[in-house]
Amino acid sequence: MPVAEILAIGTELLLGEIQDTNTRFIARVLRDAGVDLYRTSIVGDNAERIAQAIRDALTRADFVLTTGGLGPTVDDPTRLAVALAAGVELDYYPELWDQILDRFRRFSREPSENNRRQAYIPRGSRAIENRVGTAPAFITEISGHFVISLPGVPSEMEWLLANQVMPFLQQQFALQDTIKARVLHLSGVGESQIDEWISDLELLKNPTVGLAAHTGQVDIRITAKAATSDQADQMIADLEAKIRHRVGEAVYGVDQDTLVSVILNAANQKNIHFALVDSGGNGELTRRLGAGGFNESCSYVIQAPSPETNLEIILSDLMNKIRAPIGMIASYLPGTEKQELHLLVISPAGRITTTRSYGGAPKDGILWSINTALDALRRAISSINH
């Protein structure tokens, strides 16, 4: 199984002016093809620094995939950087210039003289025709390893990756394996508690298990390498079953599931109403449920007018009005040192009152309160059997 690294090039990425989405896309494609990705990096528009980053990466990886820096301007240094890393000169490829001219004709545009720079690539490189843009890509071999340079425009990069680069990698490395991943989403329990439950599974080599903490929830990622997609799926399913057995109802969903989508789907499937009084969080909890597309025929949400309002009376009236078996008050109290969330949940199982505290960054307090309240609502709905 080959090892790869990704090098995103562009000072604008380092300055935070734009987000690097290319690395994420490439990483997923390589994962599905069974390529081990050991490291990703971002380097500014400096040929010497890029060249050094390439040299360093090639000591660890079978191939390095770069994105960006292939435009026609003087601050597009990738071609020169790869040539420096390979210890060769840049050569002019007439066929690349013909391709560039053809692209411009198709776009009904006239190239400027500086576009000719794009027809220069490191000596001995394999040119890759870019049929969806004007920046040619290329593959350069350095001491038995490969540098694959793609444009930074996402649509061009994605087309070239699928139609040119992956076929080359399939042939060069006889790619047959696959790497698949599944993410379990948990709420209502902390990362340290989850780690205590499944720490032995986190030591496995294949499949692997990793934790990622977020505000008010935790993800468990399961990744498997196998010869076929079906084998990887089975490995993941077997380990997922063990994890679910240990963490129980803390798991609320997988992959693209959200707390809101899980709650609304469960309420609709069970055809039950819930009444929710949202207080103190600037209406964010109400907006989250609304954005999720809650159906007012089975759910009712109201934002309390002020913290001084008798919230229990409001909740009782709502539950009676829509005959809801579940009602909840979520009252968020912000603070600089500590944030608090007072919860009252009423369900057929009884009445539960609790106060949760959060000592994280104040800017994250509302998000924490939303996820905490949604988890309480999720558990209440799941306790009703229909």
**Do the beta carbons of residue 90 and residue 80 sit within 8 Å?**
yes
Q: State residue 327's pLDDT score.
A: 92
CA 261 to each of CA 186, 284, 343, 375, 380: distance values in angstroms, whole numbers, following the listed order: 14, 16, 21, 12, 15
Q: What's the chain's length in residues?
A: 386
Question: Any idea which residue has 């057995």 for tokens?
Answer: 245
Give yes or no: residues 241 and 308 share one domain. no
**Do the beta carbons of residue 26 and residue 67 sit within 8 Å?**
yes
φ, ψ of residue 375 to 5 degrees: the values are -65, -40
φ, ψ of residue 311 to 5 degrees: the values are -70, -30
Q: Of 254, 283, 318, which residue is a domain's last?
A: 254
State whether residue 377 is helix, strand or coil: helix
**Do the beta carbons of residue 122 and residue 79 sit within 8 Å?**
yes
Give yes or no: residues 11 and 160 share one domain. yes
Boundaries of domain holding 35: 3-173
CATH number at residue 22: 3.40.980.10
**Do the beta carbons of residue 332 and residue 304 sit within 8 Å?**
no
Give yes or no: residues 100 and 187 share one domain. no
Give yes or no: residues 281 and 134 share one domain. no
Give yes or no: residues 86 and 165 share one domain. yes
Q: Tell me the two tokens of residue 79.
A: 């071609």
- What is the reported pTM? 0.76
In the chain, the N- to C-terminal Cα span, in Å, equals 49
**Do the beta carbons of residue 286 and residue 296 sit within 8 Å?**
no
Sheet arrangement for strand 339-347: 299-303, 274-279, 326-333, 339-347, 350-358
The residue among 360, 370, 340, 345 whose CA lies nearest residue 259 is 370
Cα–Cα distance, 26 to 21 (Å, whole number):
9
Q: Tell me the two tokens of residue 56.
A: 């360093």
Question: Any idea which residue has 């798991």 for tokens?
Answer: 251
Give yes or no: residues 362 and 265 share one domain. yes
Provide the phi-psi class of 243: left if phi over 0, else alpha when psi is between -120 and 50, else beta. Answer: alpha
Q: Of 173, 202, 236, which residue is a domain's last?
A: 173
State whether residue 108 is helix, strand or coil: coil
Q: State residue 295's pLDDT score.
A: 53
CATH number at residue 341: 3.90.950.20
Give yes or no: residues 44 and 161 share one domain. yes
Q: State residue 306's pLDDT score.
A: 61
Give yes or no: residues 159 and 57 share one domain. yes
Cα–Cα distance, 137 to 253 (Å, whole number):
41
E strands within the chain? 3-9, 36-43, 63-67, 90-92, 120-122, 126-128, 137-142, 145-150, 178-187, 208-214, 217-226, 251-254, 274-279, 299-303, 326-333, 339-347, 350-358
CA 92 to each of CA 54, 78, 120, 246, 329: distance values in angstroms, whole numbers, following the listed order: 22, 15, 4, 62, 70
Give yes or no: residues 335 and 355 share one domain. yes
- Identify the sign of the CA torsion 56, 59, 61, 66: positive
Give yes or no: residues 367 and 232 share one domain. no
Cα–Cα distance, 301 to 276 (Å, whole number):
5
Give yes or no: residues 227 and 320 share one domain. no
**pLDDT tens across the length of the chain (386 residues):** 899 999 999 999 999 999 999 999 999 999 988 899 999 999 999 999 999 999 999 999 999 999 999 988 777 899 999 999 999 999 998 888 888 787 777 767 777 777 778 888 999 999 998 888 878 899 999 999 999 999 999 999 999 999 999 999 999 998 888 889 999 999 999 999 999 999 999 999 999 999 999 999 999 999 999 988 899 999 999 999 999 999 999 999 999 999 999 999 998 888 888 888 888 887 888 888 876 555 554 455 665 556 566 888 888 888 888 888 999 999 888 877 788 999 999 999 889 999 999 888 888 999 999 999 999 999 999 988 76
Q: Of 254, 272, 299, which residue is a domain's last?
A: 254
Domain count, the chain: 3
The angle formed by the CA atoms of residues 76, 77 and 79, to the nearest 5 degrees, is 110
DSSP state of 214: E
Give yes or no: residues 205 and 134 share one domain. no
